[in-house]
Structure 1
Amino acid sequence: MGKLIYAANTSLDGYLEDEDGSFGWSVPDEEVHAFWNEHERGIGTSLYGRRMYETMRVWEDDGWLTGEPAVVREYARIWRDADKVVYSSTLDGVSTARTRIERSFDPEAVRRLKEVSGPDLSVGGAGLGAQAFRHGLVDECVLLLHPVIVGGGKPVLPGGVRAHLHLLDHRRFGNGVVHVRYAVRSNA
């Protein structure tokens, strides 16, 4: 049975994006990129909301990768090898391989997907992540805390949800980013 992992970059004050929708402050250096590569290697299926999918689909295109460091090109290969489920009621189609659209988030379908999956699953995006948390589907939370305060924007964690967590792992990177990994023990 695969675990559902919510993984995200966050500012120290708890935002995925700043008030302008920018997340340029979280662009990883090589060490952090290598961490994300290793994390993503264990993911068999990624669940995305429409906006997160539109952000991530750049990894399907080789054109811009030519001059990029090996760690970046490696991430593209890892991303392409995973299955992707995009939850959108407005997206007409997908432009990436191994990708399917679901028109609505069905918690029972996600539970079944977890039960039949060998590798872990990830959920990306604040809106979809919030739904997964609210339905008690998230098994682990992986956050990379960046040494920046952005003052507002899109929160990394959902409001109105209470969960008890257990620290599984942590790490400090050379650029000041801190990784924390928690097991979600229960929704309270």
Structure 2
Amino acid sequence: MASLRFYVATSLDGFIADEEGSIEWMGPYDARLYGYDKFYDNVGALIMGRRTFELIHATADVWPYRGKLVYVLSSRKLGTVPEGVIAASHGIRAAVKSAGEATRKDIWVVGGAVTMQSALDEGLVDLLEIFLVPILLGRGLTLLNDLRQRQSLLFDGIEAFPDGVVKLRYLVPKA
């Protein structure tokens, strides 16, 4: 059965991007060293917010999620999109349901904060993998905004890498 997963890097002070939405600060850190390829091979679909989609689509030379289904949460038409991108106008629960019907592999909630927060608030998330990157940004886009309720997590492991990156893994208990 597919899991709904967060797999995200954050600065030590809790930011997933700088004020402009850029993740260039992660440039010195090669995601392949932290198991990204294995993770990505187990992903069949991605869910992201419109702003995240637009930023990636506008700045990537090549669409990085080719061959995967990508559900973009948006109440407006998306315009020209890469192959495999699907507008999801009925909310995150409907997008997760559609993704789960389309693949037996895991579903990755890519972001941003509102999308991730919605997935948590709806009780849809199974696993969080958070990579703490040894940098302090001071300001930017936060990992999460305001959750509707506090959520306890079950610790499932930690891994430290020689360059100072630390991977924290948590399971989300179901009610």
* TM exceeding 0.5: yes
Q: CA deviation at 1:149?
A: 1.4
Provide Cα deviations, 1:12-65, integer angstroms capped at 9, x if missing partner.
Answer: 1111123343322223533x3342222111110000111221233366728xxx
Residues 1:172 and 2:172 aligned together: no
SS in 1 for 2:48: strand
- After superposition, residues 129-148 of structure 1 pair within 5 angstroms as 129-148=116-135
Q: Which has the higher helix share?
A: 1
- After superposition, residues 36-185 of structure 1 pair within 5 angstroms as 36-57=36-57, 61=62, 76=64, 79-108=65-94, 110-111=96-97, 113-114=99-100, 117-125=103-111, 126-160=113-147, 161-185=149-173
Length, aligned pairs only: 171
Letter of the structure 2 residue corresponding to residue 61 of structure 1: V
Letter of the structure 2 residue corresponding to residue 184 of structure 1: V
Q: CA deviation at 1:147?
A: 0.5
SS in 1 for 2:173: strand
Distance 1:102 1:20, change over 3 A: closer
Runs of 4+ in 1 over 3 A off after TM superposition: 19-22, 55-60, 111-117
Provide Cα deviations, 1:64-112, integer angstroms capped at 9, x if missing partner.
Answer: xxxxxxxxxxxx4xx3121111111234324211111112314255246
Identity of aligned residues (%): 29
Letter of the structure 1 residue corresponding to residue 9 of structure 2: N
Distance 1:82 1:118, change over 3 A: same
Letter of the structure 2 residue corresponding to residue 96 of structure 1: P
Quote the Cα distance in structure 1 between the aligned partners of 2:28 and 2:127.
21
Quote the Cα distance in structure 1 between the aligned partners of 2:8 and 2:107.
14
Letter of the structure 1 residue corresponding to residue 32 of structure 2: H
Quote the Cα distance in structure 1 between the aligned partners of 2:138 and 2:96.
34
TM-score by length of 1: 0.78
Question: Contact (CA 8 Å) 2:92, 2:115: kept in 1 or not?
Answer: no
Unaligned runs of 5+ in 1: 63-75
Distance 1:60 1:140, change over 3 A: farther
SS in 2 for 1:38: helix
TM-score by length of 2: 0.83
